[in-house]
Structure 1
Amino acid sequence: MLNIMFWNLKRNAIEDMIITCIAENNIDIAIFAEFDNIDFNKIEESLGKMYKRILGVQKDRDRKVTLIAKTTFDIKSIEQEKRYNIYNIETGLKKYILAAIHLEDRRNYETRDRLETIRDIMENIEQTEALWKCNNTIVIGDFNANPYDEELISRYAFNSVLFKTIINKNELRNPSTLKKKRFYNPILHYISEETEMYGSFYYENGSVTPYWYCLDQLLVRKELINSICHMEYLKRIDKKELLKNGIPDQEISDHLPLLVKLQEVGNGV
């Protein structure tokens, strides 16, 4: 099992909570956005040096996202950009390409700004897939867009679909012309009133109807669609609730952490 977590930390110094969360959920790879005030040395030391932060050649270039992982994995940062990092990961059972992202926020930027960044991300992902001869590709992070938004579903953006039947029927969109490979977005399978799994970010502003946004999401290529065995927005760590009055506790973060579990055996190459 490969356990991956993404968490936008809102620049809060919550090392103790991160340490507890990693240990409690046996996290293999933890990705963070808005991590400016985090002491990663404290996290590494508290976890008995079983984890290390993965930095590229330009160590100061982790601007929007950064990653720590178990030392048993072979992980290299192969692309560092302002809004995303791309990693090559070898777990011992599988090879992966992982793109960790934090796209432009919805308050200060337009959809076109995010689309421009996405086109750059996709170009680098496709080049990396060809270079590494690997399609076990994962995109995870704060998309600052919802599952049905243009950033997710447009063929000129992430080109993602929300149902396995679609990607199983045809992995390529417009196969005779554009030939763009699709991603699968599993979010709808896990959003549920029954389990109170609403979203990762709650927005309320004056007369605007308040509701949950699913800004923190996961995309995978066809090779991994049957590997996803669990996904949830965590609402508590140990006995500490991450919600206050029904929405994320701002003193912890304005986002809930996203936990994803992937079965490694028997799926993909």
Structure 2
Amino acid sequence: MTFLFWNMRRTQRLDILCGLVREFDVDVLMLAENVLSAGKVVSQLNSLGTGGFHYNSGQCERIDIFSKLKDIHIQPHFESKHITIRHLKIPDLLLVIAHLPSKLRNSNDSLAFYMAEMARDIIKMENKMGHKLTVIVGDLNMNPFEMGMVAASGLHAMMDRKIAEKKQRKIQEKEYPFFYNPMWSLLGDASHGPPGSHYYWKSEQVTYFWNMFDQVLLRPDVLPMFANSTLKIIDRVGDISLLNRNGIPDKNISDHLPILFQLNC
């Protein structure tokens, strides 16, 4: 099953969206900052002949989901302003889709506390469902190395698959479950694609230029379904580059690049 997430930054380029779905045979399409009407997107996707798409509606206004799954097979079980947690019945999976608060209006400390709250909500849902087959995907507005991502009381997302496979660690008599974060492997210009998913320059002493705000995290129980080789940051759709002539995301399209991954369900 192929999943694609894209923060569209309010672009109207439905042709690029359809190109992504067609070229990569996407099954579950997850969008942030989408201003295209659901009816128009469904109509265009279904004209591609790649399978019947549905708009999987929910209460989280920051996320739109279009998939080959009917609503009954991708039901919302928890929603807030910034996240939606869907229970996929085929396969049995908790899919957490997020568009978290912007760094432009929130400090790193505030975002770290938000991550801790989000982690608690996810654990509550896992306890309710009776398993930890959980995937997080979306625009997390933090890099993989930042506190909210790696802290035990945050998302506790590790760069090393072997460490994540230990499932959890104990700190002061409390167990904290791991996520695995494969996005570390795509960060930097020695990766097989762009150095990150988002580019932002600011005139300050510390700036990273390239950021990995768009990420996918997996609980250890999901890892048998996941091969790192299926994870990609997409910078081209057919003959259309998503980068400008300077090699950074083309803001006339979006300042974020789509991320793609597969699960062998």
Q: TM (normalized to structure 2)?
A: 0.90
Partner residue of 1:213 out of 199, 211, 215: 211
Q: Which amino acid aligns with 1:183?
A: F
Asked if 1:82 corresponds to 2:81, the answer is: yes
The ranges of structure 1 where at least 4 consecutive aligned residues each deviate by more than 3 angstroms after the TM superposition are 206-210
Equivalent position SS for 1:131: helix
Q: Which amino acid aligns with 2:52?
A: M
Q: 1:21-51 deviations in whole A, cap 9, x for unaligned? A: 112111111111111x212211111222811
Equivalent in the alignment of 1:156: 153
The alpha-carbon deviation at position 254 of structure 1 amounts to 0.4
RMSD: 1.9
Any unmatched runs of 5+ in structure 1?
265-269
Equivalent position SS for 2:113: helix
The alpha-carbon deviation at position 210 of structure 1 amounts to 5.5
Equivalent in the alignment of 1:199: 196
Equivalent in the alignment of 1:188: 184
Equivalent in the alignment of 2:113: 116
Q: Which amino acid aligns with 2:65?
A: L
Contact 2:32 2:99 (8 Å CA) reproduced = yes
Contact 1:200 1:215 (8 Å CA) reproduced = yes
Contact 1:172 1:181 (8 Å CA) reproduced = yes
Equivalent in the alignment of 2:2: 3
Contact 1:95 1:134 (8 Å CA) reproduced = no
Q: 1:148-181 deviations in whole A, cap 9, x for unaligned? A: 100110011101111012122x321216711011
State the identity as a percent.
23
Equivalent position SS for 1:76: strand
Q: Distance in 2 between matches of 1:31 and 1:196?
A: 21
The alpha-carbon deviation at position 194 of structure 1 amounts to 5.3
Equivalences for residues 1-269 of structure 1 within 5 A? 2-35=1-34, 37-48=35-46, 50-56=52-58, 61-71=59-69, 74-91=73-90, 94-168=91-165, 170-174=166-170, 177-191=173-187, 193=190, 195-206=192-203, 211-229=209-227, 230-244=230-244, 245-264=246-265
Any unmatched runs of 5+ in structure 2?
none
Contact 1:79 1:86 (8 Å CA) reproduced = yes
Structure 1 residues 182 and 12: alpha-carbon distance in aligned structure 2, compared to 1, 3 A threshold: same
Contact 2:63 2:98 (8 Å CA) reproduced = yes
Q: 1:84-132 deviations in whole A, cap 9, x for unaligned? A: 11100022xx210011111111121112322332233222211221221
Q: Distance in 1 between matches of 2:30 and 2:22?
A: 15
Q: Which amino acid aligns with 1:180?
A: Y
Q: Which moved more, 1:220-229 or 1:20-29?
A: 220-229
Q: 1:220-243 deviations in whole A, cap 9, x for unaligned? A: 100122322211110011110000
Q: Distance in 2 between matches of 1:46 and 1:95?
A: 29
Q: Distance in 1 between matches of 2:80 and 2:208?
A: 33
Equivalent position SS for 2:43: helix
Q: TM (normalized to structure 1)?
A: 0.88
The alpha-carbon deviation at position 62 of structure 1 amounts to 2.4
Equivalent position SS for 1:225: helix
Q: Distance in 2 between matches of 1:47 and 1:211?
A: 34
Contact 2:5 2:138 (8 Å CA) reproduced = yes
Q: Which amino acid aligns with 2:66?
A: I
The alpha-carbon deviation at position 83 of structure 1 amounts to 0.8
